[in-house]
Chains A and B, each alone.
Chain A
Amino acid sequence: MDGVSSLLDGFATAITPINLLYAFIGVLLGTAIGVLPGIGPAMTIALLLPITVSLEPTQAFIMFAGIYYGGMYGGSTTSILLNTPGESASVVTAIEGNLMAKRGRGAAALATAAIGSFVAGTIGTLALALLAPVIVKLAVQMGAPDYFAVMVLAFIAVTTVLGSSMVRGLASLGVGLLIGTIGIDPTSGQQRLTFGIPELADGIDVVVLAVGLFAVGEALWVAAHLRRAPVEVIGVSNVRMTRDDWRRSWKPWLRGTAIGFPFGAVPAGGAEIPTFLSYAVEKKLTKHPEDFGNGAIEGVAGPEATNNASAAGGLVPLLTLGIPTTATAAVMLGAFQTYGIQPGPRLLDTQATLVWGLIASLFIGNVILLALNLPLATVWARLLRIPRPYLYAGILFFASIGAYAANNSTFDLWLLLVIGLLGFLMRRYGLPVVPAIIGIILGPAAEKQLRRALQISNGELGGLYNTWFSRAVYAVIVILLVAPPLIRWIRSRRDAGGTPIAQHHANVEGQ
C-alpha cells in the first residue's frame, strides 16, 4: 500500500546518523522545555528558526517535531512532581498525578504518564501515517472555495473554543489578520499598512512575530508578576509500575488515544478539552471510584495518552492541508513558509522525503523520549532549580539574536520590542494569543484562496459556497457561532425555572 512503502522510505531517511542526531536534540530540548516554566514548544521553535535556516529542511523539521512531542513528556513530569501544572494541557494530569505523588506513588504516576505518552504517541503517529495519504487523495479534489471555508473554520473555531470571551478571541484574531496583511499585496503589487516604511514592504518576518508574541511577550509578562514563594518538588526514586498499575492503565491509555487523536486533528480541538473529557470518561468507567480525588492512576494514564495523541492528531491537518490547529502548529507552518515550502495536499508528493522522514523520526523520537523520561524524570526536575533571571535573560538574549539574524537589521529588533509589548498587553487584558498567531500565519493564505475562488466564479459571491463541502463547512461554522450563546440562553431559562424547586427541597431536607 502506498502509505506503508512511503513510511518505510521515511525510516530509511530517519535512521541516517545525522537525522538521528537532530531527532535526539529535538526531543532533548523538547523535554527540557516542557519541564521549565514559562517556555513552550511554540516559543522554542520560533527561537530556533533563524539558527535552522542554514540546515536542510528535513533535519530542521525532524528537530521541531521532536521538540513538539518532547514538550508533552516534560510537561507531565512537572505537573506530577510539583504542586503546579506546566502546560495547560497538563492541568488534568496534575489533578490525580500530584495527589499520587503526595501519597508516595509518584513513581507509578511518572511511569504511567511516560508509557502512556509513548503508546499514544506511537499509535497516533501510526494513525497519522495511514490517514495522511487518504486525506490527501480527498483533499486534492478540494477547490479554492473549500480551502477558504476550512480556513475560516480554523479561524472561528480557535476563537470560540479557546478561552471564555468570544469577543476577545475575535479581537485577537482581528489583530493577527491585520498584522498578516502588512506588506505588499501579491496580486496587485500595492503596499498595504506599511506607512511607506520600506522595511515593512515584505511584511513582518515570521521569526520576529512568533518570537515577539511568545518569547518576548511571555518574558515581559512573567517579569511583571514573578511568583515569589518556591514550590515543593516531590522526590521520587526509581520510576516503575506494579502489575496492578499496568492492569489499571492500559485501557485508559487506549481510550485516551482514541479521544485525543480526533480532537487534535480538528481545528481548535486543542488539548484541553479532550484531556478533561478523558478524565471524565476514566472517572465514569473506573472500578476504583474511591481513588479519584486521592490519586487514581487512571486519571493520569488517560489524560496523558490524550495529550500525546492530540499532538499527533494536530500534525494531520498541518501536513495534509496546511491548516494549523495549535500555536505550535502555526509556528511550524511559519517555518515551512520560511523555507519556501507550501504545505498543502501536494506536500506529500513534492516533499515526500521530508514528510515521511519526519513521520518516521517521530516513531524513533517516541522511543527516545520514553528512554529519556522513564529513568531520568527526577533529573529533569532539577532543571526547575534554575533561577528565573537566567531563564528569562536567556530567552530575551536568544530572541534578540534570532530577530536580528533574520534580516540583519536593527529595525527588526525594534519591531520585536513592539510586538513583545503587544504580547504583554494581550496577556494582561485577557486577549488570547493563539487566535492572533493563527490569524497572522493563515491570514495571507486565506486571502489568496478567497480571491482565487472569486476569480473562478468571476466575481459572484456565490462562488464561495458552490460546492457541497464548503456548504457543509459553513454550516458547521454557523453552529459553532450560534451554539454557545444558545446553550447559555437555554441554561438560564432552565435555571430560572428550577431554582425555586431546588430551594424548596433544600429547605425540606435541611430541617
Chain B
Amino acid sequence: MSSTAPARKGGRSEFGVALLLLALGVWAIVDALGLSDLASRGPVSAKTVPIVVGGLLIAMAVLLAVDLLRGGRGEAEGGEDVDLSHGADWRTIGLLVAAFAANALLIERLGWPVSGAILFFGTTFALGSRRFVLNALISVGLSVGTWYLFNLALGIPLPVGILKGIL
C-alpha cells in the first residue's frame, strides 16, 4: 500500500485557520446578539444555536492554536492523485480560479455556450494540456451540447446571450 508523506511543513499559515475559526465564531455570536427573542419559549430562541456554534468555533480556535504551539500539524489530505511532496502549485490554482471567475462573469452577458467553453478550455489549459485544437473543439462541443441538453431535454434554461437567435 503506498502512503503519501503527511505534509507537516511550516505551520505558521495554519494559525490563519485558527484565526479564521475565531473570526467565524465571533461573527456568529455578534450576529446572533442582534436578533430579538421573538416567538421563543424558555432559554432557547433564534439566538441559541448561533451562539452555541459560535462558542464551539471559538473554543476550537483556541484549542487548535494550543495544538499548533505544541507542534501538532493538520495532516493535508492525501489521495491517489495527490503528490504531497511538493508545495502547492499556486499558478495552477490561480488559473483555475480565473477560468471559473470568467465563467461567472460572462455567463449572463455572453451566454453559457460561450462562457462554458471558456471555462472548459481555461481549465484544461490551467491543468497543463496543450492540445489546443482538440480542447477547443471539446469545449465548444460540451458547452453547446449541454446547453441543448438542459434547455430542451431537461427544461432548465441556461442563458443564451449573444448567440440568441442562432441556437
Contacts and interface: CB of A to CB of B under 8 A. Distances in A.
Interface of A: 37-38, 50-51, 53-54, 78, 82-86, 91, 94-95, 98, 164-165, 167-168, 170-171, 173-175, 177-178, 181, 185, 187-190, 192-193, 216, 219-228, 231, 387-390, 392-394, 396-397, 400-401, 404-405, 408, 410, 413-414, 417, 420-421, 424-425, 427-431, 443, 447, 450-451, 454-455, 457-461
Contacts of B54: 178
A29 to B, nearest CB: 16
Contact of A167 (B64, B104, B124): B64
B108 to A, nearest CB: 6
A188 B46 contact: yes
Given A222-B82, A414-B104, 15 more contacts: A38-B81, A54-B155, A171-B64, A174-B53, A192-B46, A223-B89, A227-B81, A390-B138, A392-B127, A396-B96, A428-B77, A430-B74, A450-B44, A459-B41, A459-B44
Interface string B11-46: 001100100110011011001100110111111111
Contacts of A405: 150, 156, 158
A91 B1 contact: yes
Interface string B65-105: 00100001111110111111010111011001101110110
B165 interface: no
Contacts of B39: 187-189
8 contacts: A168-B64, A181-B28, A185-B46, A188-B45, A223-B92, A225-B83, A414-B104, A417-B97
Contact of B67 (A91, A167, A450, A455): A167
B72 A397 contact: no
A51 B50 contact: no
Contacts of A396: 96, 99-100, 119, 123
A290 B86 CA distance: 38
Nearest to B143: A397
A362 B2 CA distance: 33
Interface residues of B, number: 82
A168 B50 CA distance: 19
B57 A225 contact: no
Contact of B104 (A85, A190, A410): A410
Contacts of B32: 192
A222 B100 contact: no
A393 B120 contact: yes
Closest CB pairs A-B (n = 6):
A459-B42, A430-B74, A393-B123, A389-B127, A227-B83, A389-B129
Interface of B: 1-2, 13-14, 17, 20-21, 24-25, 27-28, 31-32, 35-36, 38-46, 48-50, 53-54, 56-57, 60-61, 63-64, 67, 72-77, 79-84, 86, 88-90, 92-93, 96-97, 99-101, 103-104, 107-108, 112, 116, 119-120, 123-124, 126-129, 138, 142, 146, 150, 154-158
Interface SS majority for chain B? helix
A86 B80 contact: yes
Contacts of A178: 24, 28, 50, 53-54, 57
B49 A177 contact: yes
B142 to A, nearest CB: 6
A164 to B, nearest CB: 7
Of the candidates B53, B96, B112, B146, the one having the most CB atoms from chain A within 10 angstroms of its own CB is B53
Given A37-B80, A174-B25, A223-B96, A164 B108 contact: no
A450 B49 contact: yes
B42 A401 contact: no
A45 to B, nearest CB: 17
Given A85-B1, A165-B74, A188-B40, A226 B35 contact: no
Nearest to B35: A190
B49 to A, nearest CB: 5
A408 B126 CA distance: 27
